[in-house]
Structure formats: structure tokens, C-alpha cells
Amino acid sequence: MLKISEINKMDAAAINQRVTELRRELFDLRLQKNTTNLEKSHLLTEHKRDIARLLTVLNSKESK
């Protein structure tokens, strides 16, 4: 779980890279959920929230 204070220290390129990584992991988790039994289902929600946090900070940095 990422914290806002950690995200604020990142630059825009690092945030975009992390969003891309999390989206890929989220895709893999969804695929695993639909094909086999997913043991850590809480990671789906956690990754979605982390992506939302990252995009929120990125949008606020771009608007400044």
C-alpha cells in the first residue's frame, strides 16, 4: 500500500511507471482469479486503490 507522502516525493515519470506496473499486476491478478483460485483476493482492491492514489497525485501535480 502506497502512502500519499511517498507518492508526493516521486516525479511524474516514476508515477507513470508505477501505474503501468500496477495495471499489469492487476491484469495478471484478474486473469488468475478467472482461471484458477486466487489466494490473495485483497490485492485486487489494494492495487485499484494504489492506482487511484497515484493518478490523483499526478493530476494535482500537473494542474499546478
Q: What is the per-residue pLDDT across 16-51, written as a single tens digit (0 to 9) for each?
A: 999 999 999 999 999 999 999 889 999 999 999 999
The rounded distance, in Å, linking the Cα atoms of 51 and 58 is 10
- pLDDT of 58: 95
Cell triple for residue 64? 499546478
Cell triple for residue 2? 502506497
- pLDDT of 1: 85
Closest CA to 52 of 32, 26, 13: 26
Q: How many CB atoms lie within 10 A of CB 54?
A: 21
Query: Which pTM was predicted?
Result: 0.91
- pLDDT of 42: 95
- pLDDT of 64: 76
Task: With beta carbons less than 8 A apart as the criterion, state whether 38 and 32 touch.
Answer: yes
- pLDDT of 34: 94
